Structure 1
């Protein structure tokens, strides 16, 4: 009898737990239509987007190490010869000349730049020689058709990743005879080069993606009746084709002054002549889409009771519906212990599970084949890259039959089926690509044989919850009756404050899913990307975006997720030594500019007006110290963080120069990301350098080492150009007082000292208010990540209501009236636009900053609580000093707080006018009321 009682109690506990977790669900009443409707899964190595279709389900997936490019030297040798000339030009006020000199001689090397000109010439000679496709008499009857013009390029037609030469042909009729008239053809914008013919005669050629193609020709080449226009489009890299996001009325017309326009916006024929142009020189590699799995079911689309959801508490997705009186359920997750994606499909009727699974990929270099009687495989390699990759899809069934061909995996009349997807590349580290992806896939599938599906699921949930369950938050007013996309459409989030808690936990889910020990750090899109030419390469932008990804990690009790970020920082501290030597003639030190990638390039990239920014290394190094402050892990500090911090500080120790006008030490050349061009002495640089110096000084004391070096930093610290207040009462962005109060640039870089730095605090209220004035001038609008940064800044300024206003803006639907804006997509991904994940992470950090702020001077409770979040509680929030707190509030007032001291340090706790300092013991918990009196 006691066995049944225990079982009954366990069931009650499970049900109550599930009930309590219901608000942590994103659910929808229809399948995804767009990629930003699909829901994400990930384990730090494998990422997937699940669409949840009824008749056809679509899984788009990524592997974190699948990038373009190869190990290489990003540095231009002896570029330091141009450093002093650039500095001199800047000192003389000759910014344009300094930028040109820097662009010519001071930028990093691009891949294939030495060979590209010759390769391009050879390729062009091949594709331009064969111009038979322009002739009016050419037979194009076997060509495929496409509707032109395409909105935003040919990728919208499914030609993702297509580069090369493509011919387009269309016929048009002329009813009149013309006598020496001038006609104009307008084709809008084309990427990158076009050669346009009418009846075999070249009428014009153009180049550049922003150039509108208008060509004038004489009517003598027209004939009464049928005429033919042919356009050869040459696209060398990135997106291609007819490229206007907005199609204007006069596009795709042939007009003369006296005749009605001939319309060309209709069906055209096309032929892909050559899709292998030479590799275009790139400053950085790109994170690439891997492949897609399509499940095609023997079910009609007339389903009822449809629901798809993502349970954040378990990292599980499900899709359920009823079709033909049969209830279907599909379950999806990606296991970190097993390094595999599991997909479990069931029905409540026997023999009702029949479907086919196929791979699709945009990569032209791929092979799909049968691996064994239950497994289909795909092998691929980027067109512009060295990495080899493989993915296997394997099935286990209950009853029914499996049939695998070289194109598909087929299930017939099963009761249930479980699919496992594994993927790997040949990447080992940034200088070793000797791995065997096929062996990795085989090993992972073999390891799955030891467990049943319920056991694999249980291992996944247990592993995930060890991270996820360390933190909880509630703002009351629990309401999950509407689908997530409908909740976002409500203009005032004050009526749905549980959405704020859900958003916070969603960011934690995304960080766990995209940044796990042993993997790569979360990139611009986390671990999710469906393009071969993703926005900004989906790489690591280090003048804000990479760092913002990790703002919530320590405070929201996910310190373990910092490991990939720490690993990347250690890598670039090695590659950055070569850059410091080649560009600044500084030895035994490292520098990182504003971008890096999987190959850990550290040189200046893109354009000199924003790519020469020396503070990426300083910012990353300060985050290592911040991580130490949260964890108090002195082994980490001694062996990993401090050596990296010291060499970063050593770079600035030698790099700073005296400004002849002021006598201050300044950073030059650099820029204030990504605003104002190449300058001497941007405020952000000096804030980061000061904080890094101070962090190194404190680390030296903690470790009791390097006193002489610490003393030298203290001396320099006093000489660095200070933060200054300008003529408008603003914090100056630059050394000179040249701020434009009407400038609403998305970057607020010069406010770094307020957040995430500590260079400006309320100890100097005059400077803090100057920063506030600058933020007011900058305005509230912005891209997704910009809004997130401003939320944190307003929280640090202790204006919770203003912070909440921007949070409400951040949670506004990104697509409204057919236009994309900064905000949030239906699947709650952040919109730059397009998708960038940093806004999710920065937004969550901003909510945390409303509830708690901490530094080496203590912990402040509810420092920026907005009136909207008047009731709530939080458990497991972390503070500097290795403290963990639980507290609650009602009607905007603290109720009680408990604080657990993990390391046993002294603690300063503040709330409103109350403040206490007390000693602690390791792992002991202390409780206080709303006046911070002990309970």
Structure 2
């Protein structure tokens, strides 16, 4: 190996050093672009500054931007913990020890789950009263009801009526249609097939109730007595009652025919198809507040810009430029070239929309605000500003948005709650937003004052200066990293077409675009002072989003931050550590009430109010290692940054989490080892004693605490105890199929392809299993082979990282390519990416984007061991490439250049002056470094 070590310069500022690494040739591959406007949310383009987010549709006559503000949630500050739940801890443990899993889960469900927002017994009484009222109002079932003026809706509603324009609707809704009874069917009993309905229904034929059903998974197949029918037209009226979340006719997942009527004994295929378009009327939209374990992230509202369009629209294009964090729309109409630019400025805390035309006086635009929230209003602030206010249903939070316009020439007026500009040369809108949320215990904020302050800071600044501040801020983060691969980049194709035609051999550039898009999304959804990126980052259009769009802590929240340090976005991690600190406070009470233990605990979910108690169901909600996993991020961040001030600040949270496990772990009579019980292997196998994942994470916590205490020179006595605990925890076990056991008992099913691979945590993101223990590594690999290459979203992303840790780059790339498959095929959603490159679980979850980006980095550099391994899992399809700004543990920033799958050049920048050990194809080179110096090696 030829070696050429050279110190080239000292840099006073680490940030300047990182940003000013020698430029490498980067493909022109930082643009998502399209030939037509978005028609749905998963085609729109995301913009954001960590607090305010927008989805830009790019319509011509009407532009739609859906808005989010990161602190707008349902719920309120409250106690999530069930008092004295600890008295049931030992009975649950005893039942598990006796092999009575079902009884343990039943007891835990009754006595060990968290407290809901409304007591179940109180809700039951309110529900009975409300249900009695609405079910007794049956006048809309009668044949003679005049329903011509009712609205129409298309059935079935596979994603609920919320996706059909009725977002946020809970309550009672009447649906009506009719069918002609064939003469041959007269006197016969018929069968009515409706599919699934959420949640209840009362079904009437010609004003007579013939059936009723309940349950979201129950297919409605009803008998219609012959006596209820009449010759000719028969009116079908169905009262659908939905208490919470999705409502309406949910259809079926199979090809089974529904929305049909046919004679008893015949088949649905031989029957009459009911119309897909039914009339509907909302009867009552105020059911009692539904009990919730945790809160839901909420949309704020919508901005609409309306433009008169004359002439044929030509040369349309919309794009998102990752290099500038700016979305654009451009087109020609009536001989005029129109251009629009959209970005969200972090320095000015505002969304900016800029409209121009190449003909003076050609801009005419009308701007208005709307929302799916029921309680809202728009009012005029001054001659160029509107204020928009909403109140979250059944919650403590209010949201406010201000929209101000500046027009270059032309006229400006406020009319009927709209900003109207006519005959302008250029127009700029500034949109600010805030809520009354101050922290998880305080909702006394003044959102109007916050919005006003932001607009005052913008003042009369011209657009160019606001844009320049945005670019300087954003590019200080984004430009710290670059990536390119040799071979073709199909930038000539629109992004949606590029996704459809993708292969790693023909278009490796899509991989680099996808990786940079992950970085863009993290910058846009996680900034210091803001909230951590949730299940959808910062973007959500629904009042009842999937899984509440909250923080799932048995992988999803953590995966959001997997790429942060390695892809040189350490500055975006602050919101995560703020969340950890607040959950640490809240989790101390949970540890006391449920486990009689010191320290803090977090189960598998939390929200903006920092709920830490078990939620949902006892077979997967009682999982005790969420806090320990989050502490892994504290130690890992320190390893990348070598920031001892950071470690000193957050080390107490690590120590507190370890204190909890000192108390919680108990001795297993069968093995003599200490184990975690009760818990589960997320989200698989139910409530158990001693899941492998728990033990891996807890060992990792003890190991990190020992290392952190040594760095800080504190707690030597505690370190002795932690080492004893570490040694006493039940070890990883290899099972009868050569697999790594998921549980202490050898009960793994080799045909099981469950989406979670929890027991492989010790391979990635942990270091409990490494190539220093090859037998365990091979067993873990065997487990992953059994689980298969299938999956969607975050599950695939996890597998990418695991195969990279197994040093199998081609297999990792295969899985990563599956993440880039088109999410919509033949009208159905599947795993992959939507046309806007957002991850499809489905539905959208942002963790797949972040996990996939981290997986690509893991193929190029690994530093979890004793040194920095270069190109450890380089796929054959990526035989040429360059990366600059990728980070390694120990405080190093790297630039790599490779050709024909051989490393050509390495540039190492030392941030902390530690000894650097590089490993490539089994060869090692160690050298001392000085902070701020750069070292170049060529000729590997």
TM-score for both structures, normalised by structure 2: 0.95
Q: 1:50-129 maps to which residues of 2 (within 5 A)?
A: 50-114=56-120, 115-129=122-136
Contact 2:400 2:447 in 1 (8 A): yes
Q: Does 1:233 align with 2:240?
A: yes
Q: Which residue of 1 aligns with 2:285?
A: 275
Which sections of structure 1, spanning at least 5 residues, go unmatched?
1-15
Rounded Cα–Cα distance in structure 2 between residues aligned with 1:569 and 1:155: 33
Stretch deviating more after TM superposition (25-34 or 548-557): 25-34
Contact 1:296 1:355 in 2 (8 A): yes
In the TM superposition, 1:132-211 aligns within 5 A as 132-174=139-181, 176=183, 181-211=188-218
Q: 1:662 to 1:446 in 2, by over 3 A?
A: same
Matches within 5 A, 1:507-518: 507-518=518-529
**Which residue pairs with 1:12 in the alignment?**
none
Q: What is the CA deviation profile of residues 148-167 of structure 1, one whole-angstrom value per residue up to 9, with x for unaligned ones?
A: 44444322321111111111
Distance 1:258 1:314, change over 3 A: closer
Post-superposition CA distance 1:332-354 (Å, at most 9, x none)? 10000011000100110121111
**Secondary structure of 2:777 counterpart:** helix
CA contact (8 A) 2:195 2:252 kept: no
Q: Tell me how far 1:254 sits from its aligned partner.
A: 3.2
Report the equivalent of 1:922: 931
Alpha-carbon deviation of 1:864? 1.0
Change (3 A) 1:149 1:889: closer
Structure 1 residue aligned with 2:714, among 694, 705, 713? 705
Structure 1 partner of 2:562:
551
Write the distance in 2 (CA, Å) between the matches of 1:280 and 1:844. Answer: 38
The 3-state SS of whatever aligns with 1:718 is helix
Q: Secondary structure at the match of 1:552?
A: helix
SS, match of residue 621 in structure 1: helix
Bigger mean CA offset, 167-176 vs 23-32:
167-176
Cα distance in 2 for residues equivalent to 1:149 and 1:795 = 43
How far has the Cα of 1:764 moved from its partner? 1.0
Pair 1:720–1:341, CA change in 2 (3 A): same
The structure-2 alpha-carbon separation of the partners of 1:126 and 1:890, relative to structure 1 and needing over 3 Å to count, comes to same
Deviation at 1:202, TM superposition (A): 1.5
1:504 aligns with 2:515: yes
Distance, in Å, in 2 between the alignment partners of 1:43 and 1:328 is 26
Q: Indicate the residue corresponding to 1:629 in structure 2.
A: 639
- Corresponding residue for 1:3? none
Q: Aligned partners of 1:556, 1:491: CA distance in 2, in Å? A: 24
Given that residues 619 and 680 in structure 2 are in contact (C-alpha distance below 8 angstroms), is that contact kept between their aligned partners in structure 1? yes
1:664/1:720 contact within 8 Å kept:
yes
Q: Is the 8 A contact 2:26 2:482 kept in 1?
A: no
Q: What is the SS of the residue equivalent to 2:437?
A: coil
Q: SS of 1:731's equivalent?
A: coil
1:522-555 Cα shifts (integer Å, max 9, x gaps): 1111101111111111110100110001011111
* Separation in structure 2 between the aligned mates of residue 247 and residue 128 of structure 1, nearest angstrom: 31
Corresponding residue to 1:665 among 669, 674, 679 = 674
Deviations 1:251-302 (A, max 9, x none): 2333324898454325433211111111111111111111111212101583
- Per-residue CA deviation, residues 316-343 of structure 1 (Å, 9 max, x unaligned), is 1111111111101001100000110001
Distance 1:327 1:499 in 2: 30
Q: What CA distance in whole angstroms lies between the structure 2 residues aligned with 1:335 and 1:48?
A: 12
Provide the residue aligned with 1:463 in structure 2.
473
Partner of 1:871: 880
The 2-side partners of 1:205 and 1:440 are apart by: 51
- Are the equivalent residues in 1 in contact too, given 2:401–2:431 (CA < 8 A)? yes
On the 8 A contact 2:882/2:897 being kept in 1, the answer is: yes
Distance 1:687 1:736 in 2: 16
Aligned to 1:617: 627
Cα distance, 1:488–1:179 mapped onto 2, change above 3 Å: closer
Instruction: Answer yes or no: is the 8 Å Cα contact 1:177–1:224 preserved in 2.
Output: no
Q: Report how many aligned residue pairs link the two structures.
A: 914
1:818 maps to which of 795, 811, 827: 827
Partner of 1:761: 770
Indicate whether 1:792 and 2:801 are aligned: yes
Query: Which is bigger in relative contact order (C-alpha 8 A, separation at least 6)?
Result: 2
State whether residues 871 and 892 of structure 1, in contact with CA within 8 Å, keep that contact through their aligned partners in structure 2.
Answer: yes
In structure 1, which of residues 238, 243, 248 is the aligned counterpart of residue 250 of structure 2? 243
Which of residues 690, 697, 700 is equivalent to 1:688?
697
Tell me the equivalent position of 2:16.
none
Match of 2:42, SS state, is coil
> Is residue 196–residue 252 contact of structure 2 (8 Å, CA) maintained in 1?
no
Residue in 1 that maps onto 2:550? 539
Q: In the alignment, is the contact (CA less than 8 A) between 1:901 and 1:922 conserved in 2?
A: yes
- 1:469 and 1:452 map into 2 onto residues whose CA distance is 25
Deviations 1:357-410 (A, max 9, x none): 222211111112323221222211122321011112221101111221233222
For the residues of structure 2 that align with 1:742 and 1:18, how far apart are their CA atoms?
A: 47
Query: Which residue number corresponds to residue 733 of structure 2?
Result: 724
The residue number in structure 2 matching 1:5 is: none
Moved runs in structure 1, 4+ residues, more than 6 A? 16-19
Q: Is the 1:149–1:265 Cα contact (8 Å) retained in structure 2? A: no
Give the TM-score of the pair, scaled to structure 1. 0.95
